[in-house]
Chains A and B, each alone.
Chain A
């Protein structure tokens, strides 16, 4: 076999190939993404469409650090133990550079713990648990969405302005509901020592006995209600509350209810005047939001939901962190992501250095009925940076 120049080049290439791969000039940056796509489809399917859009946009413009982004996505079936195993697969077999995603708090915490143990960067996109960046926080974990504490703080700001003194709470009986109520009570009592909480209801998640719960709340004769139920529980609760007159003449402050995922099913039953956190969609007439909605509709043919915004912002946050760090080495990223500023449909946000919480906020406004559908009015954007405790407090909350 004559040794041609082509053969020589080819064999040189073959020998050098592993080295070339290590040089990473052309291989994509791999993000291992884990989420509850089957267990919580309502929120996570729009979320997936959101990150798909961001990946397409970034790659169309040449990627990050000269490399394309590749997301390898896994469904965790809603089980933390499966999520941990998939994280192992993504890290060890797929050789991902970054772990990210998760919706349920317990899965977020489990992956975060895996990330600490295996020294891998984890960007928790959706879980709300405070522990993720505080009690269980560590250098390898960042979190995107405003936490339970932050959303409660945003609502307390409005709740404190109400004349109401007799409050009741209703929350699903698990960690999220319990911490939301804890923070709301603590923060509101600090601002308004004159308020009292006269009853609390703890329906089991997904199994609310709405009629009985409504009746029990009515019996406490409250002036205002703090609600944490969401999804199917919320629909049942609102319908019973409407019929039984629970919301008439009472202020209601409610977590997440303004998010399209939860507001849309309420339809013409949307009780007006609830103070909620959420996403008013097209009504937010900023260039960032307008262009996001246009691009999202062009790609997916539907309106984005809250999950879409989170998915989109998640990839934008990773992009910004990578650009700031200039490397995909975990230790460098663990430091480098802190302070990275990224653009989201809600405006710019950054990852805080002291606790790795992003300053992405959410909208606070009132519910209203528009053409037989629920909508948010009188809203303003609550910047996450303003609703976090002081640095000394954070130090106490975050031992690691």
Chain B
């Protein structure tokens, strides 16, 4: 009994610290509609800044509280700066572009933190009161965890008072409901948004500083925290503070009992719960259906066929690419193989994001499934290359179809988050199921047969990727593509004229999944190995970057974007160890300066 009580209290303590991060995230989303990927980085900054502040103060409780409050203020100021210089410029960009911009910020903060505080984990010596415990029968329970348990509801209460008893709070709630109305009433939105972002950032920073007594300031906090915070916010309903609180409780307790009952699958469990909640309540427990998407869609252009100039450029590029093996070395050929695969991968995502208007933040799931389908067939069934490659799109397509059935009615950020959840489940299964998938060490020795050689495999990849990409392009200008677009721009009207939108969207998810699966299968043989990372967040972000770099609104976008990104990334990695900083900065420049991507900018320029 004592044990159970202690476990529940432990769960509540971790739920509280989770809530502090999630609260900031959900407030920021509620008002600004920005899904802030850099929220984990703000938490990490809080830990480091808190460390710097607290290692210069005395170790009594008052100084600790003072240090945490100071961290809240400093990180809040950083948040305000971030909002005023960057986010303010991208409020009208599509959601995924904003997500990407904050991802860029995350990359830059990673490098800056390393430069400022160094590579080692930083810990704060715990004062005796922080090491204390109370007794629950036989069990000892840390006093600090007890403090945390009360802190979560305390902060919730304080925020509730702020939101319901102050003018500032009223404005926040009004802006969460309808920000255009707030603007129409003559409220200075800029100051409101800056203040809200500062508040959210401050909360994240405070949560970071509060990690110190039970852990360390380290360079891995950002990603570890932000993914959990996303899960909590999505479960609770984005923008809902009580939702975030309930979501934190659910995840906190789930972790604790997961450790007891199913210690090996805690990673999967969290995402599974999120998927189930969203399948039942598509907007989370307390979420409102998002009204903002209509605005974003209004700015979509009509996508026409490629101009003849573009056609000639494409044909010339294809001829050069086909002839390339005759005059390039092995390394360039390797990069070109990757580029061809990247084109297909990006094109498959573009089908979803462009005509279908389905935001996917977990496109790597299909890529990973394809790669592992081929690899496992080769490993366990000794399948020959053609069969293994065939299996990649089939497996990915089948699973995408099953997944599609569950999610096709969702839209916007929730759909994006559900795709993320699914990709994380795939990743976690592959990562932890050692006996089957080789776990973290991956499956090795998957090189294409000797007879094919490097060139042969390149030509095979080029043929398959070009054919599939052309097919995906063709679909967009077929009735299928137009029907998808109709649904994207106005679901009720599309359904009113008799378009079976659910089936059409399901078909789009399946086709895109199968195409990404083929890309994954080809990639595995190109690298000679497959790893869990193929289904990881990084890989999904790669795909998004390629599409957005090229421009969502143009059909050539994914091709241009995939080529540009492959070159950029490879070059950066070779040239500088500060590649994260440079890549992050490049993303920001792109999002702010060229929101339509390279192909979009070229079209505007060409059209003049």
| A residues apposed to B, CB below 8 Å | 37-38, 41-42, 44-45, 74-77, 79-82, 84-86, 88-89, 91-93, 104-106, 109-110, 113-114, 116-117, 129, 131, 136, 173-176, 178, 200-204, 206-207, 209-213, 215-216, 218-219, 231-232, 235-236, 239-240, 242-245, 261, 264-269, 372
Q: Quick check: B434 and A178 within 8 Å, CB to CB? A: yes
CB-defined A-B contacts under 8 Å, sample of 27: A38-B111, A80-B529, A81-B534, A82-B573, A84-B527, A85-B335, A85-B338, A93-B329, A104-B440, A106-B440, A109-B444, A110-B444, A110-B528, A113-B445, A174-B431, A176-B440, A178-B439, A202-B266, A207-B224, A210-B215, A211-B13, A216-B263, A235-B216, A236-B214, A243-B133, A261-B120, A264-B120
Q: By the criterion CB–CB under 8 Å, are A239 and B215 in contact?
A: yes
Tell me the interface secondary structure of chain A in the complex.
helix
The answer, among A77, A207, A268, for a CB contact under 8 Å with B573, is: A77
Q: Give chain B interface residues in 212-254, CB to chain A under 8 Å.
A: 213-216, 218-221, 224, 228
Residues of B within 8 A of A268 (CB): 125
Given known A-B contacts A77-B579, A113-B444, A174-B432, A41 and B13 have beta carbons under 8 A apart:
no
Does the CB pair B529–A84 fall under 8 Å?
yes
In the bound complex, residues from chain B placing their C-beta under 8 Å from that of A85 are 334-335, 338, 527, 570
Instruction: Report the bound CA distance from A201 to B260 in whole Å.
Output: 9
B interface, CB within 8 angstroms of A: 3, 6-7, 10-11, 13-14, 110-111, 114, 119-123, 125-126, 131-133, 139-142, 144-145, 213-216, 218-221, 224, 228, 255-256, 259-260, 263-264, 266-267, 329-331, 334-335, 338, 428, 431-432, 434, 438-442, 444-445, 447, 523, 527-529, 531, 533-534, 538, 570, 573-574, 577, 579-580
Residue of A nearest to B450 (CB): A117
Known A84-B527, A106-B440, A268-B125; contact A212-B141, beta-carbon cutoff 8 A = no
Which residues in B have their C-beta under 8 angstroms from that of A116? 445
Asked, given contacts A216-B263, A244-B142, whether A265 binds B216 with beta carbons under 8 Å apart, the answer is yes
Contact B447 A117 (CB under 8 A): yes
Residue on B nearest A201 in the bound complex, by CB: B263
Taking the closest CB of chain B, its distance from the CB of A175, in whole angstroms, is 4
- Please name the residue on chain A nearest to B228 by beta carbon: A207
Chain B nearest CB, measured from A234 CB (Å): 9
User: Is there an interface contact between B139 and A74, defined as CB atoms closer than 8 Å?
Assistant: no
Q: Are A207 and B267 in contact (CB under 8 A)?
A: yes
B574→A74 contact, CB < 8 A: yes
- Residues on B with C-beta less than 8 A from A176 are 440
Q: A174-B431, A209-B256 are in contact. Are A93 and B441 (CB under 8 A)?
A: no
A211-B531 in contact (CB<8A): no
- Which applies to chain B's interface (DSSP): helix, strand, loop or mixed? helix
Residue of B142, B216, B224, B534 contacting most chain A CB atoms (<10 Å)? B216
Task: Using A84-B528, A136-B444 as known contacts, say yes or no to A45 and B121 having CB atoms under 8 A apart.
Answer: no
Considering residues A74, A136, A216, A268, which has the most beta carbons from chain B within 10 angstroms of its beta carbon? A216
Asked whether B538 lies within 8 Å of A79 as measured between CB atoms, the reply is yes
Tell me the nearest residue of chain B to A237, going by C-beta.
B215
CB pair B533 A81 closer than 8 Å: yes
Contact B141 A92 (CB under 8 A): no
Contacts of B123 in A (CB 8 A): 235, 265-267, 269
Q: Verify B579–A213 contact, CB threshold 8 A.
A: no
Residues of chain A contacted by B215 (CB below 8 angstroms): 210, 232, 235-236, 239
Q: A173–B267 contact, CB under 8 A?
A: yes
CB nearest neighbor in B for A179: B434
Residues of A within 8 A of B444 (CB): 109-110, 113, 136
Give Cα A113 to B120, complex, Å: 31
B440 touches A175 (CB 8 A): yes
**Contacts A80-B529, A92-B330: A202 and B114 contacting too (C-beta < 8 A)?**
no
Whether B442 lies near A109 (C-beta < 8 A) is yes
On whether the beta carbons of A243 and B140 are closer than 8 Å, the reply is: yes
* CB-contact partner of A42 in B140, B144, B219, B255, under 8 A: B219
Closest to A104 in B: B440
With A41-B219, A81-B531, A211-B13 given, name 6 new contacts (CB 8 A). A38-B580, A81-B533, A84-B528, A86-B574, A105-B440, A106-B442
- By beta carbon, the residue of chain A nearest B431 is A174
- Which residues of chain B have C-beta atoms less than 8 A from A202's C-beta? 263-264, 266
- Please, which residues of chain B bring their CB within 8 A of the CB of A372? 125
Partner of A88, one of B11, B110, B119, B331: B331
A211 and B142 form a contact (CB under 8 A): yes
